[in-house]
Amino acid sequence: MRLGLQKTANNPPQRAWRALLWAFTSASLGLLALVGSNADRASAQPGPASFTADIQPILQSKCLACHSSSSKMGGLVMESYESLMKGGIHGPSIIPGKSEESRIFLMLEGKVQPRMPFGGDPLPAEEIATIKAWIDAGAKGPLPGETSAPLKPLAIPDIKPQVPIASPVASLRFSPDGKVLAAGGYKEVRLLDPATGKAVASFLGHADYVRSLAFSPDGQKLAAAGGMPQQGGEIKVWDLATHKLLKTMKGHSDCIYSVAWSPDGKLLASGSYDKLIKLWDVASGQETRTLKDHIDAVFAVAFSPDGKWLASGSQDRSVKIWDVASGQRLYTLSEPLDGITTLAFSPTGKQLAAGGYDRTIYIWNLGDKQGTLAQSLIADEDSIIQLAWSPDGKVIASSSSDGTIRFRDAATLDPLNVLSGQADWVQALAVSPDGRWLAAGRYDGTLSVYDMKTYKQVLGPTLAFEEYLPPSQRARAVAGATGTVANARVAREVRP
Ligand code: HEC
């Protein structure tokens, strides 16, 4: 699935829906499968199109999942004629009589990006023509006497996509010994060999995207966090020797965006869209504390290398430093002008870097009572998605929705190199523990590994979630005994 996203830096509406983007990707996976059922009717019907008979059914089946009053993407609500005509963040989407000046038509045609329906297949030409004709005929509402029930979003149909869609790479982490690269995707974690990109294991059964990963410091376990948007957060802890699921921890009321493992191995921290941070005792699987102070989604959590502090970054434009032992908030760093999506401690733990929607990398010197801004730099042309600090402390790598990965001198933030023209958003970045490799995972499902010294790509781009068969099934598949398991999986998530 490709996202033709507008690269319009940091406009506020964009960030509002950006935060919801993951939530709706599953919806659009479902929508892709819906076939235009109104197409024949439109072409069969002469005369000006009617709002209730012709337009509403298209909006209902193709648009409403993202343009209901609860999802409201682009500020546009399509539940009634009135709300549709009101328009979105760019003002009215429909100029009666002038389809060529109407944003809705231009976006359906792809003349204004992103093309609608967002992330899905373009509407059939007949449906676009119907909408165009209706606008050109004055974009009339329901006729007097015509009942126009307010539209309600369809339940997201549980139809498996009929077109091949590569799961985005939502998260990446190297194991402490550097030998395994874990990749989180749609309902799945892959363990890959970072040298070859080959899958060595696959962990299934996650509720939705695995948005964040953390290895235990001893390298024996992997925490994979995510959960269903608006339903609940979930952390699954996997044993890396046996590949068994050890625990599933639930507690947040919305999905988890970030998980971190404490350096002593005892605690997990999670940050969620529900605005809360939770600490979990790994041994018992119990939630031990809820840290509550952010007033918006928490997108990033990180332990200081000595384990005393937890840093959290939120859509509420702040970074907070917490005392892990007491759960007390020590202080708030409030310089950012917009939501924070990513955090990275310096290896010494004395500094913290943060980035997000205001395109700026902030670096603070952290004290016990307060932090002071050491430097800040508008580092990218669009939102910063991920930051990673090299283990030797010298380099900060960032990925941005401007389509780049940048390397900077951590002391000065001077640019060292840029890998521009990334095929898609780099949602996931991870530096190997020896500091040699940077792994980058993209929204289009591809993965690359770069050499941190030469900036050369040493692996990829390769699809992270290519069909994986465990060795036992692989043998059977080869023997021709079973196509079923393989085919079931291919049908569900073919990676071309
Ligand atoms: C999977 C989610 C999704 C679906 C389905 C979807 N949209 Fe959108 N729509 C968005 C997002 C996200 C934006 C904001 C894009 C931006 O500003 O960059 C948007 C913005 C718009 C806007 C611009 C509003 C404004 O004022 O900026 C129009 C018009 C629009 N969509 C029309 C449609 C139509 C028509 C359909 C159905 C054929 C549709 N959309 C289906 C997600 C979706």
pLDDT in tens, 248-297: 999 999 999 999 999 999 999 999 999 999 999 999 999 999 999 999 99
In single-letter form, the type of residue at position 45 comes to: Q
Q: What is the pLDDT of residues 335-344, one digit of tens each?
A: 999 999 999 9
Which of the listed residues 29, 67, 134 should we mutate to test ligand 1's pocket, taking the one with most ligand atoms within 8 A of CB? 67
Top pLDDT among 165 and 372 is at 372
Residue 47 has a pLDDT of 62
Is the pLDDT confidence value at 24 over 50? no
Closest C-alpha residue for ligand 1 atom 42 = 118
Mean pLDDT across the stretch 242-246? 95
Q: Given pLDDT bands bounded at 50, 70 and 90, which one contains residue 492? A: very low
- pLDDT bin (cut points 50, 70, 90) of residue 213 is very high
C-beta of 291 in contact with ligand 1 (< 6 A):
no
pLDDT reported for residue 15: 40
Q: Contact 277/291 with Cβ under 8 angstroms? A: yes
Please choose, from the candidates 426, 428, 400, 430, the residue with its C-alpha nearest in 3D space to the C-alpha of residue 415.
400
Ligand 1, residues 73, 84, 130: which to mutate, most atoms within 8 A of Cβ?
A: 73
**Using a 6 Å cutoff on CB, does residue 24 contact ligand 1?**
yes
CB of 116 shorter than 6 A to ligand 1:
yes
Share of the chain above pLDDT 90, in %: 64
Joined together, the tokens standing for residue 132 give 């165009």
Residue to probe by mutation, ligand 1, list 63, 102, 111, 130, most atoms within 8 Å of CB: 63
CA of 477 to the centre of ligand 1 (A): 43
CB distance 105 to ligand 1 below 6 Å: no
Q: Considering only CA atoms, give the Rg of the chain.
A: 24
**Count of beta carbons in the 10 Å neighbourhood of residue 113:** 14
pLDDT band at 162 (very low <50, low <70, confident <90, very high): very low
116 alpha carbon – ligand 1 mean position (Å)? 5
> Mean pLDDT in the chain?
83
Mean pLDDT of 131-160: 69
Q: Please give the C-alpha separations between residue 422 and each of 25, 173, 262, 389, 440, in angstroms, as whole numbers.
A: 20, 19, 32, 20, 10
Say yes or no to pLDDT of 53 above 50: yes
Of 76, 78, 401, the one to substitute when testing ligand 1's pocket (max ligand atoms within 8 A of C-beta) is: 76
DSSP structure class, residue 166: P
Q: Which of these, 262, 179, 194, 258, lies nearest to 224 by C-alpha position?
A: 258
The average pLDDT across 308-316 equals 97
383 in Cβ contact with 364 (< 8 Å): no
The answer to whether 251 and 265 have CB atoms below 8 angstroms apart is no
Q: pLDDT tens-digit profile of 104-133?
A: 999 999 988 888 998 888 999 999 999 999
146 confidence band (pLDDT: 50, 70, 90): low
Q: What count of other Cβ atoms lies within 10 Å of the Cβ of residue 39?
A: 17
Q: pLDDT tens-digit profile of 5-15? A: 222 233 333 44
What type of residue is 486? A
Phi and psi angles of residue 19, each rounded to the nearest 5 degrees, phi first: -65, -30
> Among candidates 259, 356, 372, 262, which has minimal Cα distance to 313?
356
Write the CB contacts of 326 (distance below 8 Å, at least 6 apart in sequence). none
Q: Which atom in ligand 1 lies closest to the alpha carbon of residue 119?
A: 1
- What does the pLDDT read at residue 86? 93
**Predicted TM-score of the model (pTM):** 0.63
Distance (Å) from CA 55 to ligand 1 centroid? 16
Residue 173 has pLDDT above 90, yes or no: yes
Average pLDDT over residues 293-302: 96
Instruction: State the pLDDT confidence band at 37, using cuts at 50, 70 and 90.
Output: very low
Say which residue, 195 or 151, is predicted with more confidence.
195
| Ligand 1 atom closest to Cα of residue 113 | 18
Asked if residues 360 and 376 have their Cβ atoms less than 8 Å apart, the reply is yes
Q: Which atom of ligand 1 is nearest to the CA of 28?
A: 1
Token readout for 59 is: 């909006």
Domain at 171-490: CATH code: 2.130.10.10
In the numeric block, which tokens belong to residue 258? 């970030």
Buried residues in 268-278 as b, exposed as e (16+ CB within 10 A)? bbbbbbbbbbb
The predicted pLDDT at position 468 comes to 58
What are the domain boundaries of the chain? 51-136, 171-490
**pLDDT computed for residue 32 by the predictor:** 36
* Å from CA of 4 to ligand 1 middle: 12
- More confident site: 231 or 397: 397
